[in-house]
Structure formats: C-alpha cells, structure tokens
Structure 1
Amino acid sequence: MGAIRDRDTHLCHRCGVTSPTVRGRGRIDLMTRFCETCWNVFANEMAVTDGATAPQRPDTDPDDVSWIEPPICSRCGAFVRIYPTTYDRWVSLATVEMPAKAVPEPFRWRLMRLPDLSRVTTEIVAVRVRGVDPLPGEPVVPAHRMMCVPEWGEL
C-alpha cells in the first residue's frame, strides 16, 4: 500500500500530470499539490480576483542598518504596506485598520503571523477575509486600492 501512496506524491491536483515540479504550494498548511505551471495559473487567477497585483518587496541585506522607508503609492502619494499573500503574490494594504462595516467585502484583509518553531515572528502574510463575515466592529485592513484617491490633475 505504501507504493501506491508514493506514486501519488508527484501528481498535480489540477492537471493530473506526474512531474518532479509537483510539491505542496501556498504558505499555510501547503494549500495543495500543483506543478509549477498549474500553480502559476492558479495563483495569478487568485491575485487578479483579490487585487493582489503589487510588485514584490525588494530583498534587503540583513547587515544593512540604513533606514527603510515604506513604499509610496505612485497614484496618490500615500504610504502603503506591501505583504505577501498565502498564495505567494503581493498586495498593497492601507496603513490603518478600519471596522469591517466601513470596508466593502472585496477589500477586507487580515494580517496573520505564520507559525514557526521559535517564538519570534518571522513572517506575516495577508489573508483575504472570506467565508464568514466579520462582526461589524471587528478590525480589518483595507486594500490600498479602496483608499487610493488620485490627484485632481489625473481626474
């Protein structure tokens, strides 16, 4: 019976192809097992649906002690927070939390600390609020695109 299970470990859940690129994907409990091609299609579709189309933050040198400014939105000039999503794409979030009743459903996000072996938080990811609606007073982080107001010259 072990041989049957071993054979399925490299089977893509989307296309059904056996490939060495098949592995658990996603940042929380390895959401599913996809090959590289199917994962990119799936993650890109999710990103477009959720509005998670921000560019990835540049990697910083751990030995560099210079100050790092938060990114600035090119349309409105406001500070934004850029976080990875659970499906390895990046989203621009507002710098403030708001009550859920003030944020339309498609723009609600929460920040989640990923569990690690140590007590020190090593990574925070953005998770879209779906399924169960939060209570009206619960804090959520709105997507920056909800708050983004272009300058009057662009209108």
Structure 2
Amino acid sequence: MKKIGYYLLFLGVMACGSGASNTSETKKSPNAFEVIYKSTYNGLPQKKYYVIDNNEDLKVLFSQMKEDQVPAIDFKDSNVVVLNMGQKNTGGYDVYPEKILDEGNTIVLTIKEVSPGPGDMVTTALTNPVCVVKVNSKKEIIIK
C-alpha cells in the first residue's frame, strides 16, 4: 500500500506544472553558436566584446593573437563574436557564452565572466583570456 501511495504522490508531483507560459517571441536556439577558438594567454590587452562580420577582420584578429590558422567561416549566414577579457595579473579568469536567445529581430548572447575567488590557488602569470564564438545567424547580436 505504501508503494502505491508513493507512486501516486510521484505522479501528482510530476503532473503539476509551473503554470508559466512562454508566449513571447524569445526562443532558445540549439546549435546556434559554436566556440571556434579559446585561449587563456592569446587575447588582446584591452577588454572588448564585439562582432566580426567579414573574413578580413577575422584574419586581422587571428594575426593580432599570433595565430597562423584562421577558421573558415561563411559570413553569408554567420557572424563571429569576440569575447576578449583583457590583460589580467593572474590566472583563474575565463569568459564564455552561457546562452543564446533568438528574440525575433535580434540575437541575445549572454556571456559568463569568471574571476578567481579570494584565496584561490592561481598562476601568477599575466593572462589574456579570449573566446571567439561563431553565431549561426546574420541578425543583430546583443552581448549581455
């Protein structure tokens, strides 16, 4: 009898919804972005988050990062977002895309910045965290 009670309780809990409804145009976009380059040391000294929409600017970026191989990107249907944290005095820093939302006319790319906590064991070298992200859309990109 206890098993039946637990089973019914489980079904009751599973049947309950939050009651929230998402009727707006905002949609999560699976496979909407891809990290094409990430480094702890090869970023640029100044903090800057920006969009690249052509091969020439992408080549310049990779040249500035002292990288010989530039990824092949079809800019007819994609853009590239550069997340450059700037120079840091220690390790333990990171930046990466957390989620991407299609809001109709725009794409909202939410990023996550990671910093070392007090007392964390980190390298004492200068670092320049950078993450380069291919976004599979030509819509305007808002970086949050």
Fold-level similarity (TM above 0.5) = no
Rg larger in structure: 2
Q: Which has the higher contact order (CA 8 A, sep 6+)?
A: 2
- TM-score (norm. length: structure 2): 0.25
